[in-house]
Amino acid sequence: MGDNSAKLNFGGQETDYKVLSGSVGPEVIDIRKLYANTGAFTYDPGFTSTASCESKLTYIDGDQGILLHRGYPIDQLAEQSSFMEVAYLLLRGELPGKSELESFTRTISRHTMLNEQLSTFYRGFRRDAHPMAIMCGVVGALSAFYHDSTDINDPYQRMVASHRLIAKMPTIAAMAYKYSVGQPFVYPRNDLSYTGNFLRMTFSVPAEDYVVDPVIEDAMDKIFILHADHEQNASTSTVRLAGSSGANPFACIAAGIACLWGPAHGGANEAALNMLREIGTVDRIPEYIARAKNKDDPFRLMGFGHRVYKNYDPRAKVMQKTANEVLERLGVKDPVFDVARELEQIALNDPYFVEKKLYPNVDFYSGVILSAIGFPTTMFTVLFALARTVGWVAQWNEMISDPEQKIGRPRQLYTGPTARDYVDVDKR
Ligand code: CMC
């Protein structure tokens, strides 16, 4: 082996491991032969140093605060493209030409309706059910409906399942919202844009005409772009792991939704706005900063910090600008936005946050925007799931077509009891 290898001294034996280079980013030591060579495993809870797959989709440089989709910087995509273009880019690898984009958008719009039977699922939920609980259930239930797109070894069926998921997610999300507020479900309208259709299904009522506000439509589209994909995050890894067994694609996405719900992941946008509301006024910020720094207090500044970004999350920058635009357009004077801006400034200058490289992440400002548009906090993670579905299906497709793909099966460091004999219940 040449220079491009790493040597390991272990158990009195030296073994060599190939070092793989991506197109950009850190080198990766290929330890696949480690167990066969040495009988040892690696230990990496939380996968902080482990590349679980090879991918061509998304690149993050956490130190520089860079996020690229298929090479394109996220701020350029958010400012200049549309969510449909980004969906095409992630799924197919290149930005679409004009007619390709039209054809893709038409295909997606032809899949927006749900099998009517699915609407009965909603009525089984309590009206006060968290919409993410409904999302897990209804998206999982899709696996019982679309049998002609579940042969994962057929690329055509995989693509149909992907289109269905991208297309139906806004319908499912809007219905979850409508159910919670006791309003009738609104059917999709395919003459509207992907995002305009979603806004209409969410906010229109049969009693009145609804006109999509282009500023809100544009802001929402940007939010979807900013959430479309994010490398091997927890929910994407969950989708890949579920999919690695050959599971039904709709069930795999339901697994991703379940993972996304957690407050350390997608649930942080809901938690961030709840926190900003709890703080309420600028004068109370120091109290919360002190709590975030106190090791004995489990409180964390929600919307701050990231596993990968040790710099300003590039998505947060676009989000801050969009928040300004939306609040101005809607004429909303939300004190929560003042608290957010002030909290950001204080935290960015506080040695605790500076030393730990804790910066605002995508969730810090998204809640302010979504709340101004009219979404209740419980819907925030649903919107994240809607947008991330594009990344999930793109990553799932990439995994299935990867010849190196195997069922995901990590090992462990066992610290439980060693073998012992069963003792009859009377003798214990
Ligand atoms: N407030 C206060 N302290 C923090 C915070 C925070 N938000 N985040 C991290 N820290 C501290 C943490 O206490 C630890 O300190 P120490 O080294 O003294 O023990 C240090 O910073 C490193 O934290 P960690 O938990 O080891 O880092 P991680 O990479 O495991 O966690 C994180 C990343 C996002 C879970 C964490 O920063 C966090 O809980 N943030 C708040 C929740 C949040 O906003 N999540 C959204 C993430 S972005 C959306 C997405 O991609 O899903």
Residue 137: name the closest of 109, 179, 183 by CA: 179
Q: Is 284 near ligand 1, meaning CB less than 6 Å away?
A: no
Q: Is 149 near ligand 1, meaning CB less than 6 Å away?
A: no
Which pLDDT value is given to residue 324?
86
* AA letter at 77: L
Please give the chain's pLDDT, 428 residues, in tens.
446 899 999 999 999 999 999 999 999 999 999 999 999 999 999 999 999 999 999 999 999 999 999 999 999 999 999 999 999 999 999 999 999 999 999 999 999 999 999 999 999 999 999 999 999 999 999 999 999 988 999 999 999 999 999 999 999 999 999 999 999 999 999 999 999 999 999 999 999 999 999 999 999 999 999 999 999 999 999 999 999 999 999 999 999 999 999 988 888 888 899 999 999 999 999 999 999 999 999 999 999 999 889 988 899 989 988 988 888 888 888 888 889 989 999 999 999 999 999 999 988 889 889 999 999 999 999 999 999 999 999 999 999 999 999 999 999 999 999 999 999 999 99
Which pLDDT value is given to residue 3?
63
Distance between Cα 22 and ligand 1 center (Å): 27
Q: Report the nearest atom of ligand 1 relative to the CA of 233.
A: 51
- How many beta carbons lie within 10 A of that of residue 155, not counting itself? 12
Cβ atoms of residues 391 and 58 within 8 Å: yes
Q: Is 305 near ligand 1, meaning CB less than 6 Å away?
A: yes
Q: Whose CA is nearest to atom 32 of ligand 1?
A: 306
User: How much is the pTM?
Assistant: 0.92
Distance between Cα 368 and ligand 1 center (Å): 21
Pocket test for ligand 1, best of 288, 307, 312, 352 (most atoms within 8 A of CB): 307
Q: Three-class SS string for the chain?
A: CCCCEEEEEECCEEEEEEEECCCCCCCEECCCCHHHHHCCCCCCHHHCCCCCCCCCCEEEECCCCEEEECCEEHHHHHHHCCHHHHHHHHHHCCCCCHHHHHHHHHHHHCCCCCCHHHHHHHCCCCCCCCHHHHHHHHHHHHHHCCHHHCCCCCHHHHHHHHHHHHHHHHHHHHHHHHHHHCCCCCCCCCCCCHHHHHHHHHHCCCCCCCCCCHHHHHHHHHHHHHCCCECECHHHHHHHHHHCCCCCHHHHHHHHHHHHCCCCCCCHHHHHHHHHHHHCCHHHHHHHHHHHHCCCCCCCCCCECCCCCCCCCHHHHHHHHHHHHHHHHHCCCCHHHHHHHHHHHHHHCCHHHHHCCCCECCHHHHHHHHHHHCCCHHHHHHHHHHHHHHHHHHHHHHHHCCCCCCCCCCCCCCCCCCCCCCCCHHHC
Cβ atoms of residues 323 and 365 within 8 Å: yes
Q: Whose CA is nearest to atom 30 of ligand 1?
A: 307
Distance between Cα 287 and ligand 1 center (Å): 19
Instruction: Identify any residues that bridge with 7 across adjacent strands, giving them in sequence order.
Output: 16
Residue appearing with tokens 């082996």: 1
The half-sphere exposure of 325 on its side-chain side, counting CA atoms within 13 A, is: 18
Residue 241: name the closest of 409, 58, 50 by CA: 409
Angle at 164 between CA 400 and CA 232, to 5 degrees: 40
Which pLDDT value is given to residue 2?
45
Q: Is 260 near ligand 1, meaning CB less than 6 Å away?
A: no
Angle at 221 between CA 254 and CA 108, to 5 degrees: 60
Pocket test for ligand 1, best of 297, 361, 388 (most atoms within 8 A of CB): 361
Cβ atoms of residues 304 and 311 within 8 Å: no
Instruction: Identify any residues that bridge with 360 across adjacent strands, giving them in sequence order.
Output: 304
Which pLDDT value is given to residue 325?
87
Task: Give the residue numbers marked as catalytic.
Answer: 306, 363
Pocket test for ligand 1, best of 300, 363, 381 (most atoms within 8 A of CB): 300
Q: Is 277 near ligand 1, meaning CB less than 6 Å away?
A: no
Distance between Cα 370 and ligand 1 center (Å): 23
Distance between Cα 353 and ligand 1 center (Å): 10
Q: Report the nearest atom of ligand 1 relative to the CA of 305.
A: 37
Cβ atoms of residues 176 and 154 within 8 Å: no
Q: Report the nearest atom of ligand 1 relative to the CA of 364.
A: 44
Q: Is 361 near ligand 1, meaning CB less than 6 Å away?
A: yes
Q: Is 391 near ligand 1, meaning CB less than 6 Å away?
A: no
Distance between Cα 305 and ligand 1 center (Å): 5
Distance CA 37, CA 29 (A): 15
Q: Could you give phi then psi for residue 15, rounded to 5 degrees?
A: -125, 150
- Note the residue count of the chain: 428
Distance between Cα 282 and ligand 1 center (Å): 23
Q: Is 65 near ligand 1, meaning CB less than 6 Å away?
A: no
Q: Is 307 near ligand 1, meaning CB less than 6 Å away?
A: yes
